[in-house]
Amino acid sequence: MARQTGIIGIQGTVGGLVFSKNGSISQKPASDKAAFANAPSRARTRENAAEFGLAAKYSKLLRNSLRVAIASAGDSQVAARLTKVMREVIGLDDTNDRGQRVFDSGNSAPLLGFNFNAGAGIGQTMYFP
């Protein structure tokens, strides 16, 4: 976000224009999808993106399967916290290469203590017979 440093001085980005400290103005560089997909220097970024996407997918699958139970139990950050834990579970996969690791039920230990509400334990928010 741009900030005003003087009467007219601006630093940051406004509407696709980048205002530098030295007073120069340039256009914001466009995102290059082809470079992201093929550049060897972005291989680690592609691996991280693939694993994060898979963790978000698994998180959504679990939240959808438990939607009725966690409708009143979850807090506003449950999706982010569950995705973080799923990312840890995916990281424990030793059989696949980085970027291709998957959820393994044998490595699901980080999910055991997960609370759908950060302010209260599972026994305080979910009631089952």
pLDDT in tens, 67-101: 877 777 777 888 898 999 999 999 998 899 998 99
Cβ(70)–Cβ(126) below 8 Å: yes
Question: Residue 57: what pLDDT?
Answer: 95
pLDDT in tens, 10-53: 788 888 888 887 878 888 777 788 888 899 999 999 999 999 99
Q: Is the pTM of this model over 0.85?
A: no
Determine which of 21-30, 107-116, 120-129 has the lowest per-residue pLDDT on average.
120-129
Cβ(12)–Cβ(3) below 8 Å: yes
Which of these, 92, 91, 93, 81, lies nearest to 56 by C-alpha position? Answer: 81
